[in-house]
């Protein structure tokens, strides 16, 4: 709802219609229900470079410290992967994002955790689009309600990610909504 409640009024200089809001919600409910079959995991929800600390005196994965996890939940195992490779505050090249995803899949398999790559990539696209739509709405709200216009500077990057996310076939109906309502 952050997209229709906050971003759409900022972008179009009008409130979302009841039909636009209802259709957007229904499309998301369908997508998120389809994603519900994935493996639930610890989800930091804000897993990006700003919240990772390099600890050179440690070894292995303990070399990476994590902060700002007070909003953690159980959720999609794809969500934090998305947060890392689609960082709203810094560019992540598509090639680096793909290498990171491939490394994640390989590492999971090496540790004996089965990964259905096609399902993970679909879940990644859904979670990425959801996250970026949410972020666009939050940044619009921070500007409109809280008087923090600096967040608008991040919107082109967030929209770039969202456009790329919407290219996944699982998001075709949602992509059509965005092309129709927010071209």
* Local confidence pLDDT in tens for the 183 residues of the chain: 999 999 999 999 999 999 999 999 999 999 988 865 556 788 887 888 888 899 999 999 899 999 988 888 888 888 888 888 999 999 999 999 999 999 999 999 999 988 888 988 899 999 999 999 999 999 999 999 999 999 999 999 999 999 999 999 999 999 999 999 998
C-alpha–C-alpha distance, residues 56 and 125, integer Å = 33
How far apart CA 148 and CA 154 sit, in angstroms, is 12
Helices 18-35 and 117-144 meet at what angle, rounded to 10? 140
Contact 137, 6 (CB under 8 A): yes
Closest Cα partner for 80 from 31, 128, 114? 128
What would you report as the CA-atom Rg of the chain, rounded to the nearest whole angstrom?
17
Residue 61: other Cβ atoms inside 10 A: 7
Beta bridge partners of 75: 41
3-state secondary structure of 54: strand
Distance CA(137)–CA(132), nearest Å, equals 9
Whole-number Å distance between alpha carbons of 44 and 166: 23
Q: Which pTM does this prediction carry?
A: 0.88
């Amino acid at each position: 709802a952050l997209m229709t409640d906050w971003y759409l009024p900022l972008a179009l200089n009008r409130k979302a219609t009841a039909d636009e809001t209802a259709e957007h919600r229904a499309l998301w409910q369908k997508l998120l229900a389809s994603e519900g079959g994935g493996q639930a995991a610890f989800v930091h929800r804000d897993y990006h470079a700003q919240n990772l600390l390099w600890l050179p005196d440690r070894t292995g994965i303990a070399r990476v410290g994590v902060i700002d996890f007070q909003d953690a939940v159980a959720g999609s195992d794809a969500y934090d992967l998305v947060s890392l490779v689609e960082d709203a505050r810094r560019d992540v090249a598509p090639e680096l994002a793909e290498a990171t995803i491939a490394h994640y899949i390989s590492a999971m398999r090496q540790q004996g955790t089965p990964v259905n790559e096609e399902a993970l990539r679909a879940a990644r696209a859904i979670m990425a689009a959801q996250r970026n739509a949410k972020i666009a709405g939050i940044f619009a709200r921070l500007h409109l309600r809280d008087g923090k216009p600096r967040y608008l500077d991040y919107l082109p990057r967030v929209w770039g990610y969202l456009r790329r996310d919407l290219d996944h076939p699982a998001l075709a109906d949602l992509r059509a909504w965005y092309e129709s309502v927010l071209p």
